[in-house]
Structure 1
Amino acid sequence: MKKQMLAILDGEGSSDGNIASTPEDVSTSSPPAFTEIPYPGYHLTNTIHHDTYPTIDPTKADLTGKIVFISGASQGLGKAMAMSFARSGASGIIIAARSMNLLDEVAIAMTEAAALVNRSPKILKLMLDVTDIATVENVAAEIRRVFGKLDVVINNAGRADNPQAVPLSMSDPDDWWNVWTVNIRGVYLVTRALLPLLTNNDADNKLIVNIASYVAHFASPLSSAYCIGKFALLRLTETIHLECAPHNISVLSVHPGVVLTDMTKDIPALMRSTLIDSPQLSADTLVWLAKERRDWLSGRYISSTWDMTELESMKEDITTGDKLKMRMVI
């Protein structure tokens, strides 16, 4: 039952997810006992964060010249990511989602946030349904026309299981498969369409981020579509990494933490109270990951709650053991 609850509580961002109010900053404190359920890698670093911290402050980055794409950017985690990259100095930011009205609001907020730190990114708003080939291809064509290249692609759009957590025998087949359609096929379609904009870019530091989840690391009853879909995403990330390495493109699976968004707002109140990670934590972590090349992390799973300085100090151990990847242990 605890694993079931954890799966429902995951904070991965949907394409139209709201950021709701979150608890006060508890950036390096231990999470409540309810969330202290061991899963692989939770305590990889000694320090566990629940909110942003100075090391990953986006205003310390300088992404001048970089063009960034974010799917599912209309609300929730995607909006937080857009705001962080606006403050990072990125020259161009493409925000894409199904709701253009919400994207208008995000663009205004981005412009205001960037101006406060004397930055002014060019913002391109695009309607995107990640499950529809035609709209995905249209997005790629428009980015090519306006910017001609990409440096960072963030596959954030996602969908969760039914918040009522029904067993497989009672699940709706269309709903079950739609989770896969968004979380796997959507990532495939967007990455496939945008890869030429990365590979034709001569820069030596390019990045693809697939927003992942810790639920990929265990079997989760009552959350089968989401759980095994996120498991598949980790292997997809590793495969894309192998194909993209010759083009100086790093590919990462990043768990954003457990965050209160539109995708998790309908779960029971007791479980909602455990969603203690700030959307800003994962957003600022992505800027930190994008600001310099770390090809040794490519193909691997990363949690935004880990301390990034401590993670870097573990480079030799991680690469020597080829850790943070999926494998069968015998």
Structure 2
Amino acid sequence: MAHDQDYVRESTGHHRLSANTLKNNSASKPENKARVLGPVQTVLITGASRGIGRSLAVGLAQPGRTLILVASKVSRLNGTAGECEVKGSDVITIGCDFAKEKSVREMLSILRSTHEIDMIINCAGVFGEEKVPWEASPEDFDRTMQVNLSVPFRIQHALVPAMLERGGGRILDLSSGAAVVDNPHAPAYYVSKTALFRLAGALHEAGYERGLRVLSLAPGVVQTDMTAGIKAHADRSDWTPVELSVEITRAFADGKLDALSGKQVRAGTDSLEDLLRRAAAGSPAESKRLRLTGWE
């Protein structure tokens, strides 16, 4: 294949496998059976080459857990994969350019025909233009919606049916405070995050009784390559530690926050201790959901 994003690298074997090879390897797997939800064993993480996605991948790595890491090119995942392997995880890396339809289709084909994925972490994203709506380009709006919303939708569309057949699974969306506030200068990003939060709610409502758990995690303002390029954060010095998002993600992966499915939690505002307490005690069904405010 001609492009780096069209290859898969299985880190445990230190070689690259084509999509067809992976399909053939998966053909002999036994039929899946229903199971009780517990700590996840196989996790798909998009946007894993840098920033928050890389931190989440390394934070989840442990013996007995397989991580499927996705970024625009396989070569960009070498660093993340190496750190995860050192911690004992088996690692598979997939290159996919989310803005290109052919690349997305190839990734989905690989994911459908390979490992039994227990958890999806949608971390890949772009911020888009910082312009008022009537000055923003339609092309940038479409690209931002494609990367931030359409591809996460297509990933769940490809993987959730198999999750439900096995008794359930978990989805964690990297959400944002942008999902619940208005902003005049980055319409594509804010619209995409609001829509992703609404999709999470739909998945929760449709799949909860069948074992699907969906959590929206707003990481706060983490110092990353993305935030470094955002004008609103040009003079910021108070960053949210990424470790707060990592510990929340680990707890969700282990089943400790399943009772908060359908909600948005916010690193730096919601402490892990408080979230664990709320998950154990139960919280109102409408709390931390996307809702319309009243007149008063």
Report the TM-score range of the alignment, normalised by the length of the smaller protein: 0.7 to 0.9
For residues 152-198 of structure 1, give each alpha carbon's deviation from its aligned partner in whole angstroms, at most 9, with x where no partner exists: 10011111032xx3222322221122211211112111111122342
Q: Structure 2: which 5+ residue stretches go unaligned?
A: 1-37
Deviates more, 1:261-270 or 1:304-313: 261-270
Instruction: Tell me: CA distance 1:158–1:311, structure 2 relative to 1, closer, same or farther (3 Å).
Output: same
| TM-score when normalising by structure 1 | 0.70
Mapped to 1, the partners of 2:162 and 2:52 lie a distance apart of 24
Instruction: Tell me: CA distance 1:128–1:196, structure 2 relative to 1, closer, same or farther (3 Å).
Output: farther
- Give secondary structure in 2 for the equivalent of 1:123: strand
Tell me the residue number matched to 2:277: 313
Mapped to 2, the partners of 1:269 and 1:212 lie a distance apart of 18
Tell me the residue number matched to 2:85: 111
127, 130, 139: which is aligned to 1:160? 127
Mapped to 2, the partners of 1:199 and 1:138 lie a distance apart of 23
Letter matched to residue 67 of structure 1:
T
Mapped to 2, the partners of 1:208 and 1:90 lie a distance apart of 20
Tell me the residue number matched to 1:15: none
The answer to whether the aligner puts 1:76 opposite 2:42 as a matched pair is: no
The answer to whether the aligner puts 1:186 opposite 2:161 as a matched pair is: no
Letter matched to residue 307 of structure 1:
S
State the Cα distance separating 1:324 from its structure 2 match.
0.6
State the Cα distance separating 1:96 from its structure 2 match.
0.6
- Give secondary structure in 1 for the equivalent of 2:292: coil
The answer to whether the aligner puts 1:101 opposite 2:64 as a matched pair is: no
- Give secondary structure in 1 for the equivalent of 2:91: strand
Contact between 1:77 and 1:279, CA under 8 Å: does it hold in 2?
A: yes
Instruction: Tell me: CA distance 1:161–1:132, structure 2 relative to 1, closer, same or farther (3 Å).
Output: closer
* Alignment: residue pair count: 256
Instruction: Tell me: CA distance 1:168–1:234, structure 2 relative to 1, closer, same or farther (3 Å).
Output: same
Q: Structure 1: which 5+ residue stretches go unaligned?
A: 1-61, 115-119
Tell me the residue number matched to 1:198: 163
244, 247, 251: which is aligned to 1:288? 251
Mapped to 2, the partners of 1:194 and 1:222 lie a distance apart of 34
- Give secondary structure in 2 for the equivalent of 1:186: helix
**Sequence identity, in percent?**
24
The answer to whether the aligner puts 1:139 opposite 2:107 as a matched pair is: yes
- Give secondary structure in 2 for the equivalent of 1:108: helix
Instruction: Tell me: CA distance 1:228–1:122, structure 2 relative to 1, closer, same or farther (3 Å).
Output: same
Instruction: Tell me: CA distance 1:166–1:94, structure 2 relative to 1, closer, same or farther (3 Å).
Output: same
Contact between 2:257 and 2:276, CA under 8 Å: does it hold in 1?
A: no
- Give secondary structure in 1 for the equivalent of 2:283: helix
Counterparts of residues 4-43 of structure 1 (less than 5 Å):
none
- Give secondary structure in 2 for the equivalent of 1:159: coil
Counterparts of residues 205-216 of structure 1 (less than 5 Å):
206-216=169-179
State the Cα distance separating 1:245 from its structure 2 match.
1.4
Tell me the residue number matched to 1:91: 65
State the Cα distance separating 1:230 from its structure 2 match.
1.1
State the Cα distance separating 1:200 from its structure 2 match.
2.9
Tell me the residue number matched to 2:222: 259
For residues 275-323 of structure 1, give each alpha carbon's deviation from its aligned partner in whole angstroms, at most 9, with x where no partner exists: 5112232123211111025432111111122112212333588633520
For residues 214-263 of structure 1, give each alpha carbon's deviation from its aligned partner in whole angstroms, at most 9, with x where no partner exists: 02221111121111221111111100111221321101111012111111
Q: Over aligned residue pairs, what C-alpha RMSD do you find?
A: 2.5
Instruction: Tell me: CA distance 1:98–1:75, structure 2 relative to 1, closer, same or farther (3 Å).
Output: same
Letter matched to residue 42 of structure 2:
I
Letter matched to residue 265 of structure 2:
I
Tell me the residue number matched to 2:263: 300
State the Cα distance separating 1:111 from its structure 2 match.
1.7
Mapped to 2, the partners of 1:90 and 1:138 lie a distance apart of 27
Instruction: Tell me: CA distance 1:226–1:82, structure 2 relative to 1, closer, same or farther (3 Å).
Output: same
Tell me the residue number matched to 1:121: 89
| TM-score when normalising by structure 2 | 0.78
Deviates more, 1:242-251 or 1:75-84: 242-251
Letter matched to residue 128 of structure 1:
C
The answer to whether the aligner puts 1:326 opposite 2:293 as a matched pair is: no
Instruction: Tell me: CA distance 1:173–1:304, structure 2 relative to 1, closer, same or farther (3 Å).
Output: same
